[in-house]
Amino acid sequence: MTKLVRKLITITEQQNEHLNALSAQTGMPVTEIIRQIISNSNDVNFKQIVAMNEVKIEEYMKLRASYKYYNYLFENATNNINQIAKHANTNRDLDNVVLDELSKIKQQLVEIRGEIDEYCKSNPFK
């Protein structure tokens, strides 16, 4: 995978509005639009670049929706675990069965998080 380099650029408000409009119209993140423009600087018409990448845009939108859904699930799971931990700290009466189940859940969450991280690292949309 190519190493990414962070750059800080300054653009006008009109350029920012135009860039955000392109992002909204294409579904591509602003950073990906800029990368495509730079990579394809010989092509003058950006619409041609977008047309070549329609499949990638659709994949990106699905990936983003999946990411939001999994993020929602993780938030719910961690919220539930925090509620159980609060209960355990307050009442101090959880039995070993519950503790074993919590341990299994924690391990599954760690494995799922690792799989999602791996998938996101291998995905070209950052």
What's the CA dihedral at 73, 74, 80, 83 to 10 degrees?
A: -150
The model carries a pTM of 0.38
Residue range 49-91, pLDDT digits in tens: 566 566 677 777 777 788 778 878 877 887 777 777 777 777 7
What share of the chain in percent tops pLDDT 70?
Answer: 77
Mean pLDDT of 27-39: 85
Nearest CA-CA partner of 18 in 9, 6, 30, 32: 30
107 and 86 in one domain? yes
CA 60 to chain CA centroid, Å, is 10
Domain count for the chain, please give it: 2
Other residues' Cβ atoms within 10 Å of the Cβ of residue 119? 13
What pLDDT score does 43 carry? 47
* Residue of higher predicted confidence among 99 and 46: 99
pLDDT band at 123 (very low <50, low <70, confident <90, very high): low
pLDDT score at 50: 60
Same domain, 91 and 62: yes
Please state, in angstroms and rounded to a whole number, the distance separating the CA atoms of residues 58 and 72.
21
Domain co-membership, 46 together with 60: no
Give the pLDDT band of residue 7 (cuts 50, 70, 90).
confident
The mean pLDDT of the chain is 77
> In which domain, by residue range, is 83 found?
53-126
H or E element: which one contains 61? helix 54-91
Distance of CA 125 to the CA centre of its chain: 9
Average pLDDT over residues 15-35: 87
Distance CA 95, CA 15 (A): 61
- 115 and 65: one domain? yes
